Amino acid sequence: MHEEDRRMYELEYPAPVIRDDSGDGKGPTMIVAMHGYADAGQAIEASADHLKAALEGRQLASFNSDELIDYRSRRPAVTIDKDRALEIESMDLGIKVLRDNSGKTFLLLSGPEPDMRWDAFTTAVVKLVEKFNIEDTIMLYAAPMPVPHTRPTVVTAHGTSSRLTEHMLSMDSTMMVPGSAALYLEKALADKHRTVAGYTVHVPHYLAASPYPQATFQLLDSVARAARLNIPLGSIEADISRVENQLEEQVGGSEEIEGVVQQLEQQYDAYMERYRKEHPQAIMPGEEPVPTGEEISEEFQAFLASLDEEESQQIIHTEIDDREDGIEDEGSQADGGEDGPGPAQDDGDLGDDI
């Protein structure tokens, strides 16, 4: 490791295993969820916190916060109890290896966005992507947008490979946005011809400063589908129900707010109708994609793996017996006579049966 890299980060020893058990030879996916920029609804920070809390994981690399974070610009919160300081808000930035519910490993780069040395930080992360043969990198963003909370949450996607963005909504325009460390990293990976994508969840602008679990759920659900990860999301769904009830009470008590929401609904519906006509293959917000044959096969294999050997063999033998019975039935019909099957007997008026 070069001296510059030593100053930037430290690798854990021994390094955790980052190879999944699929045997396909592909490298893992890395999710980048750095908060501090474009984190409307606190969706990015909440996504990282949820993954680390819900899944088993080990630290892979720890970045030097003193090299990257300006503590005076984002003073960490300190908890003081009576006569002493008890706890200081974590400013840790690092990469963890996590294992999903199916045993598949992936990486998570999370923590506060660096305030300084973006070029050096980007170079260091690109080296780690190459060192650990990261197959796909997915960047998480959350932007305040003029959308209503009463419609399905939108996630737009962009990237270097259609494999990570197909069927998802895209922003069909050129725009200029403020830079971020995540965008620096995204461009650097693209320049290196690595597969990288960015997912941006659209958060109602009037809720951007508050936790919005709908956005967190939609980001992680999009990542899970694209990277084929089995991520538990049940606890977030419970938070969604709670927040929806609160919003219904608050909005219902104000005619002015209701009027604004109705206008946003009209704009949303008109845009989605136009987008559907222009992109008939896109899966619209709130719609479920049709599973592919490979996905159905994977689900069936996972189901068999969850059973003991006796139960799985019983299911397989039942399927074989059903097929053999079907073949015998076809043979019996074929041997019905030289003239083939005779006319059907009249069992009465079909209309009476219907």
Write phi, then psi, for 218 (nearest 5 degrees). -70, -35
Same-domain pairing of 304 and 283? no
Same-domain pairing of 125 and 89? yes
**Which range marks the domain in which residue 317 is found?**
292-324
The angle formed by the CA atoms of residues 194, 168 and 288, to the nearest 5 degrees, is: 130
Same-domain pairing of 225 and 312? no
Q: Pick the closest to residue 289 from 202, 222, 206, 236 (CA basis).
A: 222
Instruction: Output the domain CATH number for residue 244.
Output: 3.40.50.10900
Question: Is 123 within a domain?
Answer: yes
Instruction: Judge contact between 10 and 61, C-beta under 8 A.
Output: yes
Instruction: Judge contact between 299 and 306, C-beta under 8 A.
Output: no
Which pLDDT tens digits describe the chain residue by residue (354 residues)? 566 667 889 999 888 888 655 556 679 999 999 998 879 999 999 999 999 999 999 999 999 999 999 999 889 999 999 889 999 998 999 999 999 999 999 999 999 999 999 999 999 999 999 999 999 999 999 999 999 999 999 999 999 999 999 888 888 778 888 899 999 999 999 999 999 999 999 999 999 999 999 999 999 999 999 999 999 999 999 999 999 999 988 887 788 888 999 999 999 999 999 888 888 877 788 776 655 555 556 656 666 666 655 555 665 566 555 555 555 555 555 555 444 444 444 444 433 333
Cα–Cα distance between 128 and 130 in angstroms, integer?
5
Question: pLDDT at position 298, please?
Answer: 61
Question: pLDDT at position 58, please?
Answer: 96
Question: Is 347 within a domain?
Answer: no
Question: Is 19 within a domain?
Answer: yes
Q: pTM of this prediction?
A: 0.79
Structural domain count, the chain: 2
Same-domain pairing of 305 and 207? no
Strands 84-88 and 78-81: antiparallel
Cα–Cα distance between 55 and 100 in angstroms, integer?
6
Same-domain pairing of 190 and 64? yes
Question: Is 115 within a domain?
Answer: yes
Cα–Cα distance between 49 and 295 in angstroms, integer?
28
* Tokens representing residue 249 in the block: 């009470």
Strands 94-99 and 105-112: antiparallel
Cα–Cα distance between 185 and 162 in angstroms, integer?
19
Same-domain pairing of 102 and 136? yes
First to last CA, the chain: 79
Task: Write the CB contacts of 142 (distance below 8 Å, at least 6 apart in sequence).
Answer: 38, 39, 40, 41, 42, 43, 44, 200, 201, 203, 215, 219
Cα–Cα distance between 275 and 271 in angstroms, integer?
6
Question: Is 276 within a domain?
Answer: yes
Question: pLDDT at position 353, please?
Answer: 38
Question: pLDDT at position 333, please?
Answer: 54
Helix H or strand E encompassing 16? none
Same-domain pairing of 153 and 300? no
Same-domain pairing of 274 and 301? no
